[in-house]
Structure 1
Amino acid sequence: MREVAFIKQNKEKWLKFEKAIFNDDLKDPDALASEYIQIINDLSYAQTFYPKSKIIGYLNQLAAKAFQKIYKTKREDTNRIVGFWKTEVPLLTYQYRKFIYIAFAVFSLFTAIGVISAANDGEFVRSILGDAYVNMTLENIEAGDPVAVYKSGSNWGSFIGITVNNLKVGLIAFILGVFGGFGTLWVLFKNCIMLGSFQYFFYEKEVFWESVRGIWIHGAMEIFAIVIEAAAGLILGASILFPGTYSRMESFKRGVKVGVKILISTFPFTFSAGFLEGFVTRYSNVMPNFLSVGIILLTLSLIGYYYLMYPFVVQKKMQQSILTSGRLNEV
């Protein structure tokens, strides 16, 4: 059978099944389980006869979602919170990974614009950060502690204030995705321009390394989390602009649901970044290089692995479980 005929023959069945799964319409689990087996068979058929077809990815994602819904164990139900971060979010970030890649590409571009602008305009940093902040930083540099600003206030006060602010930035970046993703891009643009110009300022004053040792102790998780939150906003925007086979409202609801889950997944990292900024960064100038660098690499590795590598691990395990389940049901 030709691929076009295969898709035409089964499209209605797939869409009906997809709607039931994503809308949690599980009134007849036995019927859905039977349809799930048919999806598995279609997936196996497509892998055999159309190995380069995009339909394989679609059926694989559909089967993975169905597997989660239909074959949940009681133990998984009692550990819903653990399952959220262990399985559900990684599968979502795998499915929507292109938005994460886009968010990182845009982040890099906007940050580079900040660096280039600061390098070519001596007043650019002041226009972005303000005279008061720049003057204070210059005084700190002259005093031998470029990141002294992170040592002001109490530990708990800094932790709470910084965490609340970062949560607010993430929420705004996501919510403004409702404007087709352009609001999210604007939030990302403002923060990246600030970051790029800020880091170039330290480079220009020949204290770049000192700034890295201090800022990125908490910044690795903080900035990474904001990029992921921006990706959630872009998912929301895309759900409005590109509804696909769904009505625009239905697509929007799905975008909100997925985006909120990815947004919530960043909160532990945001809290961790706030804790580091409140309790650890203030000691960056007295701790040895290996310790500050070790913290930066550890935090960056943790959040990087969770969003960029672990989703592939979970997806592979899920695919193996799906195929195994399909074979067992055929016996």
Structure 2
Amino acid sequence: MREVAFIKQNKEKWLEFEQAIFGKAKKNPDELASLYIHLVNDLSYSQTYYPKSKTVVYLNHLASLTYQKIYKTKREESNRLVYFFKTEVPLIIYENRRYVLYAFLLFFVFTAIGVISAANDGAFVRLILGDEYVNMTLENIEKGNPVAVYKSGSNWGSAVGITANNLYVGIRCFVYGIFAGIGTLMMLLFNCIMLGAFQYFFYEQGVFWESVRGIWIHGAMEIFAIVIEAAAGFILGASILFPKTYSRLASFKIGFKNGLKILLSTMPFTFAAGMLEGFVTRYSPDMPRVLNVFIILFTLSVISFYFLIYPFLVHKKLNKNHVSTL
């Protein structure tokens, strides 16, 4: 069967699915499960005969959403918070993995711009970081403690203040996506150029590894979370620019809801980064080097696994459940 005929034959059924999923037509669980089986059959057919078609993407998206709607109320998933982090967010991340990829590509490009700019313009670091910060850090380097700035203030005061600031940055990265993603792009650009210039400054002063040992104890999760929050902003922007088969308003609602859930999922990591910065980073110069490295690699591994690997594992499990319902 030609793809056009396949779509024409099943269009009404798929529209019925959309109405059931987004609350326009109420279906009891048995009716929804019955429709779901038909949808999985259509998905399997399209994967076989039209593997590179947008129809496959569309049907897979519908199947995932329907699966969530049917199974999220199962007894073993009665804890809404557990379900949110264990299943819901990973599936959203998987569905929008291209935006996560875009965010990381832009992160590396923009950070490189910061490094290159700092390397080729002696005044660039002061322009980005400010004279006061640069002068203070130069004094700390002369005293033999490049990251002494993290010792200022109390443990709890630093942790709370830093966490609040990072949450503010993350929320802006997401919310600014409403400007067709341009606002999020500018937020990511500014923060990445600052990061690149910041790290080059320490490299230029000959204390790069000393700075890495301290700063990235909290920075691994802090920076990673900002990139994911930027991805959430891009999802929001894309929902406005590319509504697909939905009305622009319906697409915006979906994009906002999915992006917000991703933003919320980064907050535990942002809190953890704030606690590390307030209570651990300040002691980094006195730590054994192996402990510095372990904390950095461990925190980076945890957040990387959750946002980059775990969504694929959840999706794989979901596909097995698709097959088991046939």
Q: Same fold (TM over 0.5)?
A: yes
* C-alpha distance in 2 between matches for 1:72 and 1:130: 50
> Which letter does structure 2 place at the counterpart of 1:188?
L
Deviation at 1:77, TM superposition (A): 4.6
Deviation at 1:294, TM superposition (A): 0.6
Across the aligned residues of Structure 1 and Structure 2, the Cα RMSD in angstroms comes to 1.4
**Cα distance, 1:197–1:46 mapped onto 2, change above 3 Å:** same
* C-alpha distance in 2 between matches for 1:84 and 1:213: 34
Look up the match of 1:146. 146
* C-alpha distance in 2 between matches for 1:253 and 1:72: 20
Partner SS, residue 180 of structure 1: coil
Residues 110-131 of structure 1: per-residue CA shift (max 9 Å, x gap): 1111000000000000011110
* C-alpha distance in 2 between matches for 1:293 and 1:143: 23
* 8 Å Cα contact 1:60/1:319 also seen in 2: no
* C-alpha distance in 2 between matches for 1:25 and 1:108: 45
Look up the match of 1:167. 167
- 1:202 equivalent to 2:194? Answer no
Partner SS, residue 146 of structure 2: coil
* 8 Å Cα contact 2:20/2:27 also seen in 1: no
Deviation at 1:25, TM superposition (A): 4.8
- 1:246 equivalent to 2:246? Answer yes
Percent of aligned pairs sharing the same letter: 70
How many residues get paired? 326
Look up the match of 2:61. 61
Partner SS, residue 145 of structure 2: coil
TM-score of the aligned structures, taking structure 2 as reference length: 0.96
Larger mean Cα displacement after TM superposition, 14-23 or 99-108: 14-23
Deviation at 1:24, TM superposition (A): 7.5
* C-alpha distance in 2 between matches for 1:25 and 1:214: 55
Look up the match of 2:290. 290
Look up the match of 1:29. 29
Partner SS, residue 265 of structure 1: helix
Look up the match of 1:187. 187
Look up the match of 1:38. 38
- 1:311 equivalent to 2:311? Answer yes
Partner SS, residue 215 of structure 1: helix
Look up the match of 2:86. 86
- 1:261 equivalent to 2:261? Answer yes
* C-alpha distance in 1 between matches for 2:55 and 2:242: 18
Look up the match of 1:105. 105
Partner SS, residue 258 of structure 1: helix
* C-alpha distance in 2 between matches for 1:101 and 1:180: 18
Deviation at 1:249, TM superposition (A): 1.2
Runs of 4 or more, structure 1, over 6 Å off, are: none
* C-alpha distance in 2 between matches for 1:163 and 1:107: 21
Look up the match of 2:70. 70
* 8 Å Cα contact 2:110/2:189 also seen in 1: yes
* 8 Å Cα contact 1:64/1:322 also seen in 2: no
Larger mean Cα displacement after TM superposition, 34-43 or 134-143: 34-43
> Which letter does structure 2 place at the counterpart of 1:268?
P
Deviation at 1:248, TM superposition (A): 1.3
**Cα distance, 1:145–1:25 mapped onto 2, change above 3 Å:** farther
Partner SS, residue 306 of structure 2: helix
TM-score of the aligned structures, taking structure 1 as reference length: 0.95
* 8 Å Cα contact 1:176/1:233 also seen in 2: yes
Residues 161-180 of structure 1: per-residue CA shift (max 9 Å, x gap): 00000000000111111100
* C-alpha distance in 2 between matches for 1:211 and 1:129: 16
* C-alpha distance in 2 between matches for 1:24 and 1:166: 38
Residues 50-90 of structure 1: per-residue CA shift (max 9 Å, x gap): 34444233322321221221234542452110010000000
Larger mean Cα displacement after TM superposition, 38-47 or 18-27: 18-27
* C-alpha distance in 2 between matches for 1:76 and 1:23: 24
Deviation at 1:217, TM superposition (A): 0.3
> Which letter does structure 2 place at the counterpart of 1:5?
A
> Which letter does structure 1 place at the counterpart of 2:210?
E
Instruction: Give 5+ residue unaligned stretches, structure 1.
Output: none
* C-alpha distance in 2 between matches for 1:49 and 1:192: 43
- 1:223 equivalent to 2:226? Answer no
Deviation at 1:27, TM superposition (A): 3.8
* 8 Å Cα contact 1:26/1:32 also seen in 2: no
* C-alpha distance in 1 between matches for 2:35 and 2:260: 29
Larger mean Cα displacement after TM superposition, 16-25 or 164-173: 16-25
Look up the match of 1:7. 7
> Which letter does structure 2 place at the counterpart of 1:169?
V
**Cα distance, 1:52–1:250 mapped onto 2, change above 3 Å:** closer
